[in-house]
Each structure stands twice: as structure tokens, then as C-alpha cells.
Chain A
Amino acid sequence: MSTAKIMQQGKVVPWLYILPALLVIAIFIIYPVVNTTMLSFRDRTGEQPASTACVPDGPCWGTFENYRYTLTNPEMVTALRNNALWLLVMVPLTVAAGLLVAVLADRVRYESLVKAVIFMPMAISFIGAGVIWRFMYAIETGQANQVGLLNGILVTLGAQPVPWLSTSGINSFALMVVGIWLWAGFCMTILSAALKGLPTEVLEAARVDGATEWQLFWRVMIPMILPTITVVTTTMVIIILKIFDIVFVMTGGNFGTEVIANRMFKLIVTDTGRSMAIAVFLLILTIPLMIYNVYRFRQEEAMR
């Protein structure tokens, strides 16, 4: 922030402008973070220390008992594994899909139409998207006609219908498809803006030197928009760490599709201590990204 003071003001005046906002933030973000952290060391009702939930002779982490649950409970292990799977599979695919559309749409005349179609899912709720895709994956048992499109196609081709959402091993990927469908447009929009901002002289120079479009893409465009790709990827990582609505509405976390945030939601009434420990764990996972965002912000400010 390099703005030198351009008008004198008292020491009090700036605080009058920012205090109302800071007060609201203190009540709704800072205080809950402290309170939730404290509750994560209490039992299911928040009345007793977490260690009271320990079974005699069973494994016990004392005050950190709820964190033992968070890291070792089988349901939680499934959730952690699924979140990792989403991060490793869904995030790269979404960014790649967004980049692909951004590059391809740039070369056709109906670019804005295509981009609107791809971006449209961002405007509707994740719950609505869940309904759309539940219907895509729907399965009818017995002799009835399939009404879900995917099984309709399978049956037309002479194959057996697949219970997409209740077959573990398939269902997590079926949910990731929904995620890609939702967020590819978001990635596309940001990456497309970065591509259009590339200096045309550089691209022309590479073409004159005989670079093919393929080489141009990998050797010139990708390195030049790498900072933007990083930004998009970190944003996607933050979103996916907290992934909840899609899983909640499509499988409820059943059949091996559990994720961290859904587990936290399920326990919120029945076991506050564990639920809060999961929330804190989620926060801990976002801290590196938080630090990275602040670092990036400081760098941008330095360049202004």
C-alpha cells in the first residue's frame, strides 16, 4: 500500500470508518474460530473435557481425543482419502478442462456463446446441480425403461444399467464429474482472460520462427500464464477441501463417498466436540493456502 497521505486526518477518523466492519468480522469470524477451537477439546455436549469420551483400555489421546477420532476413525479415514482423491484427480482435470475450453473457444467465432454454456452451471446452486446429476445417473430396476440418460444410453447399446451412485469405486468419480461440470467454467473464465492478455507480438514472433500451434501452447502460452494457473489451482484446492453440497445431496456420504465437510455436518448436533475438531482440522488444512494468498497479495502490493 504505497498511497502516501494526501489529506491530513486525525488518528481517530480512519477507525470510525473501519471499526463497524471489523466489529462484525470479530463477532462472526474471529470469536467463532476461538470458540470452535475450544469446543474441539470438549466432549459431545461441550460440558466435559474430551478425554471423558475415552473408553477404558482403548486408545486415547487425552485432551486431543476428538483429533484422534478425526484422524483414525474409519469413516473419517474414508473422508480424508476421498478429499485427497478429489484434490489429486478432480482439481487437475477441472483446471485442464477450463484451459482446454479457453484455448479452443478463442479460435471459433461463437466464442461468447460457448463460454456462456460452459460457465452457466456456476450460476445455479450446488443443490440444483445435484438434482440435475442425480437424474443423469438415475437407475430403474426391473423391466422399467431407464429414465436417467447415462443408463438409457447403456441399455440402448445392449449393456446392463449401472448403479452409478451406490457402487463404491465408481461413485466418487461420478461425483467428481459433477464438480468438473460445475467449476470448469470458473477456471475457463480466469484462464481465458489471462490468455487474451498475452502480448500478441510474442505469439506472432513464435509463429514467424516456425513454431507449431502445439509448441506455441506448451512452450509459450503455458509458461506465460503459469502464475494464473497457480491462482486458479489454489482457489480450486480451497473449494475442494470444503466440498459439501454435492456429496450431501447426491449420496449423503454413503457408499464410500464421505468427505470431511459432510462428516462435520453429520456430527454437528450429535457430537459437538468431534464435529468441531473436524472443523478445526479443515481450518488447519487451509492455513498454508491462507499464508500463500497473503504472500501473493504482499507481492502484488509491492509491484503497484
Chain B
Amino acid sequence: MKPFSGLNNFFRKLPLNLTVLVLALLWIVPTLGIFITSFRSREAVRSSGWWTVLAPRSTAGQDTYNQYCGACHGPNGDLIAEADLADPALVAKYPRSNRLLAMLRAEINGSPHLQDPPLPENPNEALDLLAPILTYMGTLAGGEGAGSAGLTLRNYADALVGYRGTQDYLTDCEQGVASTLAKFDCNSSDLLNPEGMGQAFLNTLYVSIPSALLPILFAAFAAYAFAWMEFRGRMWIFALLVGLQVIPLQMALVPIAKLYIDIGLQSKFLGIWLFHTGFGLPYAIYLMRNFLGSLPREVFESIYIDGANHWTAFWKLALPLSVPAIASLGIFQFLWIWNDFLVAKIFLTTNPVLTVQITNLIDPRGGNWHILTGAAFLSFIVPMLVFFGLQRFFVRGLTAGSVKG
């Protein structure tokens, strides 16, 4: 073995490894951004980028703090023992800048709390000023409280119940005075609030499971016939199914919506199950027929010779053997419907699914990232579990054939 061959090899492969790692990093950073943001307090999300969390000890807000508070409280915040800003318990009393503002407006020992420089009169300006100070107080207190490093689950509570107030749902419920609480009971029943992601999660589950199972049931019978029965037009009908796979589902929206109004299926779960079944079938039949057709012929011959008819062969042989294909297809179809937006938007107007609920939460001015990121991640939980747990099946279901409408 040549000396340094390991080292040579390392340097020879360095550009390759760097390229691959940079690509992987580029791909993961956008998702990482909203993941981190979903755990940051509303003030933190609004006042600084999520990447500041990754910095070891943030100096965000330090300048503002030094300018307004440093003279009395000291650079480390612990100069006044009665008001130790480095004490997490004290900082925790001020989860939001408006609480801090209320305290600072009150006089101390007969004179204003802040004199040199004074606090701006305009409340918005004052709040803008206090957000970085609060951030830095959080840093001083070791990352507790509302500081940039302090992470919270409150965004998820807001997203689950669909709460949109000036403070977060849990804080408002503690105080019990906010007018935005009108539609809320501040107990577990809020999880089923129609505007929340909790109810949307259940709706999505209720849409996806039958919509994934029904096409498989229909497709299994048809695929068996296409694979193991002889009949006129078999090839032509199957070729037609291959073609139908790419029909844009936009073609069916209005006629089916009109049909559903006539027969009373509009905004009913049964309606959306049937629609997904219809558009899932060509691909489902194609995939299952290819799988069944690739099974060894002898297996079927022997069961027919033993006197079994097609019905028995289907239930006793074809169906048990196609479990891997059914798993791939079912998982793929389930995730496809879980992530669907257009069909649910049109056919399920009164019971929004996760994707529709997210679009309801989007603020065109971009002001509510803390809720939106939490909501998005709630909708990712099931896909991520499926993806990391059943990746093999999902990939096979997605890539086994051509593409769905």
C-alpha cells in the first residue's frame, strides 16, 4: 500500500463530496427554515430571521438594549438586584413586548422608568423598539422567555384551533378578555374548531383513507381479469386505460360538480371518495395488472388444475400475492390524496382539508408566519411518517408507471 493513499483518496474525492453535501444542504434548508420558525415566538419570528437561532449566543438586540437599559441594569442585566434581567423567572413574566411596554409606562419612584432616552409616545414605535430589547433579555437569561433562542409550542396551539388574535391562544385564554375569543371555549373542544388545523386533520384523514382503499378494491378485480382471463377487446380496453391516466382532472370538475348538485352529493365525503376513486382507477388497474401479470404462470395453472374457479383463485391466490403491490399503490394513493388541494377545494367546501385550511391562513401581507409555519408542519406529520417509515413502498408506487391526472 502506498503511503498517504488514504489521504490522497480523501482529497481526490473532496470535490465530489462537497458538491453532494452542498446539494443536500440546499434541498433541506427551506424546510429547516419553516421547521425552526414554527417553534419561535411571534415576536421573534417578526423581528429576526430564523437562522439567528443557529448562532451560538445571539447579539440580536444588544445595541438597543445598551442604549436604553444598559446604563442602569448593566451590560449583563444583573446590576439591580431587585430587577435582575438575567433571571429567567423575571424575563418569563414578559412573554410579549406589549406586557413589557405596560410595565415601562408605569413610573418608578415617582419618575418615568425610561428617561434618557425616553420611550417613544407612539405605541407601535415603542413596541418595535421593545421587541429587540426583549430578544436580548431572553439571551441574557440563557435563552429562556421570549428571546430568539427561546422555543415555544404556542404556534402549534394557535394553528390547531385556528386562532387569530393579537396575542397567542393560550395567553388569551389565561386572561380571558380578548374579543377574538368569541368562537372559542378555551378547552379541548377548541381542537375541533372548524377553522383550525385539528378539525382539518380529521377531515383529511376521513377523505384519504376511503379514497385510497376504494380504487384498490375496484382495480384488483379488473386487474385480475386483464392479467389472467381471455376476452375480446382486452388489449384495446387496457390500452385505453393507459391513455386515460393522463387526462387532466380539470376536465371533470364542472360536470361532476353539477351531477353532485343534482343527486345531493355536493360537499359530501362520499362525493370526494368517488371522484378520487374514478381518477385513481386507471393507474391503479395498470399497476396491479402489471404486478399480477408478472406472477409465475405455474402458480395459477396448478390452482386451476386443482379445480379452483376464478373467484377462488382471486381471493386465495391473487390477492394475498399482491400485498406488496397493494401496499405501494395504497400508500402512494393515500399520500396523493392527503396532499390534494384542487379536488378538495371544489368538492368539499364545508369541511376544509389541511391544504385548503393552510391557504385560508395565508395572510397576503405575510404577517402570520408563526401560525402558517406551524400549520404547514402539522400537515407534514403524516407524509413525513409515511415517507420515512414506508419510503420503499411510496417510491415504488410513485415511479412504477406513468403519471396520474
Contact = CB atoms under 8 A, between A and B. Distances in A.
A255 B377 CA distance: 28
Of residues B250, B281, B301, B403, which shows the largest number of chain A Cβ atoms within 10 Å of its Cβ? Answer: B250
Interface in A138-187: 138, 144-149, 152, 181, 186
A125 B334 CA distance: 12
A113 B20 CA distance: 11
Nearest to A155: B49
Contact of B253 (A126, A138, A268): A268
Nearest to B276: A28
B34 A135 contact: yes
Interface string A277-296: 01110110010011101100
Nearest to A148: B49
B362 A22 contact: no
A84 interface: no
B51 interface: yes
Contacts of B235: 1, 301
Given A114-B20, A116-B391, A136-B30, A147 B48 contact: yes
A235 B402 contact: yes
Contacts, number: 289
B239 A297 contact: yes
Contacts of A125: 338-341, 354-355, 379, 383
Interface residues of A, number: 99
B293 A242 contact: no
The 4 A-B residue pairs with the shortest CB-CB distance, nearest first, are: A28-B278, A125-B339, A17-B225, A32-B252
Interface of A: 1, 3-7, 9, 11, 13-15, 17-18, 20-22, 24-25, 27-29, 31-33, 35-36, 39, 100-101, 104-105, 107-108, 113-114, 116-128, 131-136, 138, 144-149, 152, 181, 186, 189-190, 193, 231, 234-235, 238-239, 241-242, 244-245, 248-249, 261, 264-265, 268, 272, 275-276, 278-280, 282-283, 286, 289-291, 293-294, 297-298, 301
Interface of B: 13, 16-17, 19-20, 23-24, 27-31, 33-34, 37, 45-51, 128, 218-219, 221-222, 224-231, 234-235, 237-239, 241-248, 250-256, 274-275, 277-279, 281-282, 285, 293, 297, 300-301, 304, 310, 314, 335, 338-342, 346, 354-355, 358-359, 362, 366, 369, 372-373, 375-376, 379-380, 383-384, 386-388, 391, 394-395, 398-399, 402-403, 405
